[in-house]
Copies of this chain bind each other. A is one copy, B any other.
């Protein structure tokens, strides 16, 4: 569809070319206008959002795409990318509040506080499982923090939908349990 009078480029949409984010996106999306997980990895690494220029974890990129991939294409258009960018920046702000020594990593106690701030009410055992899984040499980097937030949010959503009586308990059939847990 053309937008005569608005000057939108063929194949684009109004406003896309004025958006400063569009440059990051277009640089990696190529001709199909979609980015895959390895393209997202390059894009986020070059944007410097992780606070370092080491590559963003590819697993985290896969998780981010699956979080927003409503058409199950395994890739991401510009609108989904913009939405992701907004969420990532909220998480980045939260992460930096806890990274007081500006090392680009947070300590287990700080990860615990961040998750509590986000509203999760978890036991010490659950927090220990999470900290063990998402830390490396006892500290959690931004990309592991993002992976942790995405998984925790998705798993909590899945659980809540099955906890129909709001008792904090949910019944799963085996096949459903595997679908929920193996897709993340």
Task: List residues of chain A with CB under 8 Å of any chain B CB.
Answer: 37-38, 57, 59, 62, 66, 72, 74, 122-123, 125-126, 129-130, 132-133, 136, 148, 151-152, 155-156, 159, 163, 168-175, 177-179, 181-184
Contacts and interface: CB of A to CB of B under 8 A. Distances in A.
Q: How many copies does the complex hold?
A: 2
A39 to B, nearest CB: 12
A53 B133 CA distance: 26
A181 B155 contact: yes
19 contacts: A59-B59, A123-B179, A126-B175, A130-B182, A130-B183, A152-B182, A155-B181, A159-B172, A159-B177, A159-B178, A168-B173, A168-B174, A169-B171, A170-B171, A170-B177, A171-B171, A171-B172, A181-B181, A181-B184
Given A163-B174, A174-B163, A174-B169, A183 B129 contact: yes
Contact of A177 (B37, B59, B155): B155
Given A59-B59, A173-B168, A182 B74 contact: no
